[in-house]
Structure 1
Amino acid sequence: MDVRLENHLDYFIHDNTAAAGLSPEMLAVAREAFRAGDFNLLAEIYGSQLADLRHPDRSLCLLNADALSRAGRIAEALDSYCTAANLDRLRPNELGSLVDCIAHTLRVKECLKECTDSNGVSEDEHSLDLFSCRLCKGLLIEPTTLECGHTFCKPCIEDDGVKECEFCRYKLNKTNRELKPIGFKVNVVLSGLLSKWFCAESEARRCWLEGDRMRNEQGFINALEKYNYALEKAPFMCGLLARRAELHMAMNNFRQALQDGDAMCRLTPLSPKAHYVKALALNKAGYNEEALQEYLYCLALKPDWTSVKLETQKLSDSTMLSEMFSTFKTDGLPTSSLRLHPTGPASHLKPASHLLDSLHSTPRRWSHTPTGRRDSLSDTGAETKSSCEVSKTLASVRREVPPQLLDSSDMDCSVCMRLFYEPVTTPCGHTFCMKCLERCLDHNPNCPLCKENITEYLATRGYHKTLLMEEVLQRYLSEELAERSKVYQEEMAELSNLAQEVPIFICTMAFPTIPCPLQVFEPCYRLMIRRSMETGTKQFGMCIADDIKGFADYGCMLEVKDVKFQPDGRSVVDTVGVSRFRVLSHGHRDGYNTAKIEHLEDQKVEGEELAELQKLHDCVYEQASTWFTSLKDNMKNQIVSHFGQLPEKDPDIQGGASGPAWCWWLLAVLPLEKRAQLSILAMTTLRERLSTTRRVLSLVTRKHPPPRERILHFPLKL
């Protein structure tokens, strides 16, 4: 329940029932009617209570007026407010219900709900197009793209009050590690495009900013000159009109401020900001009645604007029940229409309907300056479109790129010289295709154009697409972008076809089921690993080097499990062996080796041969277990930390294409030269592999334990 009404009800029930002759039972019913929202019943209760009193009670008159207001019965409410005003001057906080009711009536009468979308977006939001800054609502000037990919005006995001992105709430990093301010760099490509496509408005925006700087330095005259020049270039910029109106008011040029407010209302009749500026100018110029009307329209457009509501209530106290019901003699008017004059109770009469007529006629002149005065500042005879009609017209007028100025070459990547695909912008303000930038950073942590060091950007892997550029491409170059996308998808499909071409990492021995961690720093392999992730295969081949062919004829496919990027561009890649292969042919792509391969599988045996193979398997496993157990604890711990424990025996020794996992674990940790390991990897029968392993174990156990570095065959590429 409204706090003031609750207090009034409590006062009447507990403290004043006997003195006023009021019925506690009826006030209890009134309380329930209020809770139920039945304000007509509430008004009848208060009206009957007032009728029974010999002298009007001011508090009860206010309760009755509030109830009538909430019920939409404004004329009757005004009469009750006037009765209360005759007893004691009205205060602003006593007019909240009346202000709400009138604003709601205007909103319904002018069909303002139809002029906003289903989500309640006002004309201010509708007017924002692709090239508007979401902070200042104007054309992007000095467009600056954040790491999250969203673009704003440079002065807007450098404002101390802006802490995060308006779209995604990305926290702005305005200081570096030395706690020095970071200057946001202008997006070079977008800045050039906006200056080309919207030349006059861009120039006007620059003058606007210069004017703001001068104004902050108290250079009002110079600032006004800049604003005037900017509005000559772009007279439709409501934000600039508002700035000039504020400057005029600061200079006490209320007449000129009112003209700017009037122009704003003509351009954007459903903008709360426009009507607020006009109301402020009217108020300062002394047009209180018209200012009140504009404030009410602000609330009709934006009901939750608290500060405007308070101003409206203050102005209502001094204007609505003062100037609008000014004292004059009229014959034959009802005594219930008495009202309070600013200097005391009124002694003359005027109908409450006068205010209603004034307010109901107001919407037809929202975009005009005060009417009915000899010093009116605008042509009050001019007719304007209805608010809804104008709103629909303006909502459809958005910035569009002139077709004659559209050139796809303006949006070409400076690395690949093709149309931007997944454009990203560096901290220094240059834009590239995402893949092009990544490939450049594989070789050098500097911007490909200006050579500025962007190591920190590289370390965070902040490759977020520049969303504005992406939207521009989709809207204006959709066919070219579709063709560019088709070419890219074809390239990815070719790269993901491992049956046709497998990327080869030349480094160390790898084995099925065995982890193989790698440190990757060479540009060609950084590209190779990234492509394996982008295509979704997450696989590549591992081979040892060969002096003649480049790499060995046999190798192992590795699957990427995780990639951790380092600040200097290197990456630690966790992989595990998947399957063995034989190289059929060698090839190259973009600096790394490739191969056409065939996968290897163990030959299967049955019957007595399988039984003999099972015995050999169990024997070698026991021999391997004994050897591993005999190692010193520190050596065992290091082996386990890199390769894990010795795997258990497989229930089905022929279940996998490469045989039991423990055989490959043992081959990885035994002190064998790479060529010897390679020969075992190439074997396609489990019997041959087990027999060879048994001979190696026999040799190892007969000799002294080998040096630790040969046991720890950890394949890190440094």
Structure 2
Amino acid sequence: METRVEMFMHPLSNSGAAGICPEMLEVAEEVNRAGDYSLAAEIYTSQLADLQHPDRGLCLRKADCLTQAGRISEALDSYCTAASLGKLRPEELPLLVDTIARTLREKELGFPGPGGESSSEEEGLESDGECGDDDEALDLFSCRLCKCLLHEPTTVECGHTFCKICLDDEAITECVQCKKQFNEKKDGLPNDRRLDVVLSGLLGKLFATESKARKFWIEGQVLRGEKNHPEALEKYNAAVHLAPSIGRLLCQRAELHVEMRNFSLAVQDASSLCRIKPHWTKAHSLKATALSEAGRNDEALQEYLMCVALKPNWTKVKLQAQKVLSEVFSSVFENGNMPTPLHPLQGGVASRLIKPPASLMSLRPEAKKPGSSSQDSEFSVSKGSPVDDSSSRLSPPEGSTKSLAEVLAALPAPPGGVKRKHSGEGPSAGTNHPSKLLRSDVAGSSQAVSVCGGRTFPAELLDSGDMECPLCMRLFYEPVATPCGHTFCLKCLERCLDHKSNCPLCKENLSEYLATRGYNKTLLMEEVLQRYLGDELADRKTIHEEERKELSNLNQEVPVFVCTMAFPTIPCPLHVFEPRYRLMIRRSMETGTKQFGMCIADELKGFADYGCMLEVRDVKFFPDGRSVVDTIGVSRFKVLSHGQRDGYPTAKIEYLEDKKVEGEELVEILKMHDAVYEQANNWFTSLKDNMKSQILSHFGHLPSNDPDPLASPSGPAWSWWLLAVLPLENRAQLTILAMTSLKDRLIAIRRVLIFVTRRRPR
């Protein structure tokens, strides 16, 4: 408090200073610092009484003390005395502005003081008053950049949707929702983003009127930016005619009126805006600016005080309020005019905040005319207030100046009250309630679906047929928007891109999109489906899950890659480029099995009757859709029936396991196992270095001898490694792969080793 008192300490003038007691002034300052403002005011009063001529600085000190004590009417008396001695400067009036605004804030708006908890009405208000709770609450169909209904909705890489014109802003480099950086612009040119065709059609259907208004609105914004104000105003007028209750739209038209110096029209728009959003500080600030530019400072002051009441920390508007208040004080004493008394507005805000200053009552040159009124057409009084109809019907004479007390008497009542009648209108005249300004896109609809933020649309307009994938002709499941603006189910799109890197609808090249594989779901579309077509989406999900369950059954319908021989435990790298196998690999990954069968080709059946299951360890995709798949053999199988699904082979299979043996047969197999392993190791060791290097780079080292060769259903790993590297034809390898007897397999391997050893050149 000490700092605040010293900050606003007014200097004493030389005239009359001789009669001032410095000791009493020090006492007054000390008392003021202690917070006893009334006592300080009494000391200043006694000091002034001893002077032959009033001292301006002392009057201001007294006025500040009275203001801090809450005795505003007496403070005004003292401020008026100081003003009569010299023009009040804006920097001399912060305490008066703060106190009036705080009283209005606490008693009329119901907001807590600066130290209290923030009220729900204040949530979202920014310190500059430009943002926050400035318009309708954001709903599903609002752009998170401009806070308005999406216009030309454009879905970006991350799956979020914004207005196209908002994304064209060079300052927008990342998604405001997920903070993901947008793709860099090429050669300094803007990204060629296309509007989302499905969402654009949906918005135009559900919100036809507002969408049309939004189109006019944006056209007006563009023209305004080009300084073509007359044509911009035409567009704004067309938009407001269609959607008169959109706060931001009214705000922009009011700003345009100010730029065109149509201040009366700007005041009208700002007044409508204040009725729609009574707690939006920018609305009151805009109205105050328009009133001030029109030279209606007394009315502008009311709006500036409301701004300070709504947002006490908004320094810019607080300084403006002080400036206008200074001008209002000055206007009271211009040309020798004396202030007129406060009009006794029963039930109004001023009558509860201040009482008429005695000096104003005594200084008026003539009695108040019985028909005069200080009421302002844009403000309201509390419901049921006994307003004198005779005074409300008559307006002040043209060119007359309202007194400061009358200005304060016209402070706005709490938002939500009955609108005050315009001066000159009858007592029954009034302003339409804001709710009457709201228009529905379709009148008389039997049932409306409510959207957060006040938007509604007839339920019958939302048809699941508008949300069908053009490829599978079913409801979108995991909808994805391509860079060209078309939407498909994720799996449908991937299948199309397996065959050709072009959009299935417009044929635009999507090679870059395919290379990045940025298949992020369109989150707005997903939310619309979940919120408004929940039952249909649940049915669609059930179908998808059933298909996925069927695909993950590795017995009834196993996908088969017809290519080469594969063996258990042995790596098998694959280069996948055919569309059917792209789909097969992707499905094996999506279902979570990460497995598929590998068989060699068969001229009659398509593929052999025996094969090996492979498990995917890693997949690397190339920009053109090709991929390199790192797999390893898992288990052997026998084909029971051959089939096909979506272009790739499938099979019903049964898994193969080695027969269990015991007793003497087991002892014999163990001896044979060790002998054949030794024979295999000797053969590999005897190979030339270049051959060994090739084998090692592709298959790795020969696995170690297995102490329990029958523990695995497929037998020891080294035997499959040896079959993979031995120079055998596929049919011979297939025969050994199909054996379920480890003994028979060892015998076959031994014969092959003897054969290749004999044929090896010496």
TM range (shorter): 0.7 to 0.9
Alpha-carbon distance in structure 1 between the residues aligned to 2:687 and 2:311 = 80
Deviates more, 1:675-684 or 1:540-549: 675-684
Matched, 1:416 2:472: yes
2:588 is aligned, of 528, 532, 547, to 532
- In the TM superposition, 1:428-467 aligns within 5 A as 428-467=484-523
What secondary structure sits across from 2:496 in the alignment?
helix
Residue 277 of structure 1: how far off its partner (Å)? 2.7
Matched, 1:291 2:347: no
Alpha-carbon distance in structure 1 between the residues aligned to 2:71 and 2:701 = 86
Alpha-carbon distance in structure 1 between the residues aligned to 2:720 and 2:92 = 85
Alpha-carbon distance in structure 2 between the residues aligned to 1:462 and 1:557 = 31
Residue 511 of structure 1: how far off its partner (Å)? 1.6
Alpha-carbon distance in structure 2 between the residues aligned to 1:291 and 1:169 = 41
Change over 3 Å in CA distance of 1:354–1:551 after alignment to 2: same
Aligned partner of 1:382 in structure 2 is 430
What secondary structure sits across from 2:456 in the alignment?
coil
Alpha-carbon distance in structure 1 between the residues aligned to 2:283 and 2:528 = 30
Aligned partner of 1:486 in structure 2 is 542
* AA matched with 2:285: Y
Alpha-carbon distance in structure 1 between the residues aligned to 2:175 and 2:95 = 36
Change over 3 Å in CA distance of 1:225–1:600 after alignment to 2: same
Alpha-carbon distance in structure 2 between the residues aligned to 1:613 and 1:64 = 113
Matched, 1:476 2:532: yes
What secondary structure sits across from 2:457 in the alignment?
coil
The answer as to whether partners of 1:214 and 1:220 remain within 8 angstroms in 2 is yes
Aligned partner of 2:146 in structure 1 is 136
What's the CA shift string for 1:110-160, capped at 9, x where partnerless? Answer: 246665598889644653222222222222221111121111111111122
The answer as to whether partners of 1:503 and 1:593 remain within 8 angstroms in 2 is yes
* AA matched with 1:141: H
1:316 is aligned, of 322, 341, 344, to 322
1:669 is aligned, of 725, 738, 747, to 725
2:234 is aligned, of 225, 230, 239, to 225
What secondary structure sits across from 2:740 in the alignment?
coil
What's the CA shift string for 1:162-208, capped at 9, x where partnerless? Answer: 222221122223523x4433221111122222222222222222222
2:175 is aligned, of 165, 180, 185, to 165
Deviates more, 1:355-364 or 1:436-445: 355-364
Residue 543 of structure 1: how far off its partner (Å)? 0.8
Aligned partner of 2:279 in structure 1 is 270
Aligned partner of 1:345 in structure 2 is none
What's the CA shift string for 1:350-375, capped at 9, x where partnerless? Answer: x9999986657465789889x88x9x
- In the TM superposition, 1:101-180 aligns within 5 A as 102=101, 106=105, 109-111=108-110, 115-116=120-121, 123-124=133-134, 127-173=137-183, 175-176=185-186, 178-180=187-189
Change over 3 Å in CA distance of 1:705–1:118 after alignment to 2: farther
Deviates more, 1:582-591 or 1:672-681: 672-681
Larger of the two Rg values belongs to structure? 2
Aligned partner of 1:206 in structure 2 is 215
Residue 703 of structure 1: how far off its partner (Å)? 3.8
The answer as to whether partners of 2:297 and 2:327 remain within 8 angstroms in 1 is no
Aligned partner of 2:612 in structure 1 is 556
- In the TM superposition, 1:29-428 aligns within 5 A as 43-44=35-36, 92=91, 95=94, 99=98, 102=101, 106=105, 109-111=108-110, 115-116=120-121, 123-124=133-134, 127-173=137-183, 175-176=185-186, 178-298=187-307, 301=310, 306=314, 309-319=315-325, 322-323=328-329, 326=332, 328=338, 359=411, 361=413, 363=415, 382=430, 398-428=454-484
Residue 301 of structure 1: how far off its partner (Å)? 5.0
The answer as to whether partners of 1:65 and 1:76 remain within 8 angstroms in 2 is no
* AA matched with 2:256: L
Residue 604 of structure 1: how far off its partner (Å)? 2.1
Change over 3 Å in CA distance of 1:624–1:234 after alignment to 2: same
Alpha-carbon distance in structure 1 between the residues aligned to 2:71 and 2:663 = 101
Change over 3 Å in CA distance of 1:209–1:196 after alignment to 2: same
Residue 556 of structure 1: how far off its partner (Å)? 1.0
Residue 500 of structure 1: how far off its partner (Å)? 1.7
* AA matched with 2:151: I
The answer as to whether partners of 2:642 and 2:650 remain within 8 angstroms in 1 is yes
- In the TM superposition, 1:501-540 aligns within 5 A as 501-540=557-596
Residue 576 of structure 1: how far off its partner (Å)? 1.7
* AA matched with 1:315: A
Alpha-carbon distance in structure 2 between the residues aligned to 1:500 and 1:664 = 26
Residue 557 of structure 1: how far off its partner (Å)? 1.0
TM-score (norm 1): 0.78
What secondary structure sits across from 2:641 in the alignment?
strand
Alpha-carbon distance in structure 1 between the residues aligned to 2:616 and 2:74 = 79
The answer as to whether partners of 1:200 and 1:234 remain within 8 angstroms in 2 is yes
Residue 215 of structure 1: how far off its partner (Å)? 2.3
What's the CA shift string for 1:9-34, capped at 9, x where partnerless? Answer: 9xxxxxxxxx988999x99x99xxxx
Sequence identity of aligned pairs in percent? 54
Matched, 1:619 2:629: no
What secondary structure sits across from 1:415 in the alignment?
coil
Change over 3 Å in CA distance of 1:124–1:573 after alignment to 2: farther
What's the CA shift string for 1:268-287, capped at 9, x where partnerless? Answer: 33334433332332232233
TM-score (norm 2): 0.74
Residue 652 of structure 1: how far off its partner (Å)? 3.1
Matched, 1:584 2:672: no
Alpha-carbon distance in structure 2 between the residues aligned to 1:493 and 1:546 = 29
Aligned partner of 2:13 in structure 1 is none
What secondary structure sits across from 2:35 in the alignment?
helix
- In the TM superposition, 1:13-28 aligns within 5 A as none
Alpha-carbon distance in structure 1 between the residues aligned to 2:209 and 2:584 = 48
Alpha-carbon distance in structure 2 between the residues aligned to 1:551 and 1:192 = 49
The answer as to whether partners of 2:24 and 2:43 remain within 8 angstroms in 1 is no
The answer as to whether partners of 1:92 and 1:314 remain within 8 angstroms in 2 is no
What's the CA shift string for 1:322-354, capped at 9, x where partnerless? Answer: 53995657999699xxxxxxxxxxxxxxx9999
Alpha-carbon distance in structure 2 between the residues aligned to 1:105 and 1:489 = 61
Alpha-carbon distance in structure 2 between the residues aligned to 1:132 and 1:279 = 29
Residue 496 of structure 1: how far off its partner (Å)? 1.4
Alpha-carbon distance in structure 1 between the residues aligned to 2:99 and 2:725 = 82
The answer as to whether partners of 1:66 and 1:97 remain within 8 angstroms in 2 is no
1:542 is aligned, of 598, 611, 624, to 598
Equivalent residues, number: 663
What secondary structure sits across from 1:191 in the alignment?
helix
Give the CA RMSD over aligned residues: 4.7
Aligned partner of 1:498 in structure 2 is 554
Change over 3 Å in CA distance of 1:96–1:165 after alignment to 2: farther
The answer as to whether partners of 1:75 and 1:356 remain within 8 angstroms in 2 is no
Alpha-carbon distance in structure 2 between the residues aligned to 1:242 and 1:183 = 31
Residue 424 of structure 1: how far off its partner (Å)? 1.2
Residue 596 of structure 1: how far off its partner (Å)? 0.6
Change over 3 Å in CA distance of 1:267–1:420 after alignment to 2: same
* AA matched with 1:139: L
1:678 is aligned, of 716, 726, 734, to 734
Deviates more, 1:472-481 or 1:545-554: 472-481
* AA matched with 1:382: G
Deviates more, 1:178-187 or 1:441-450: 178-187
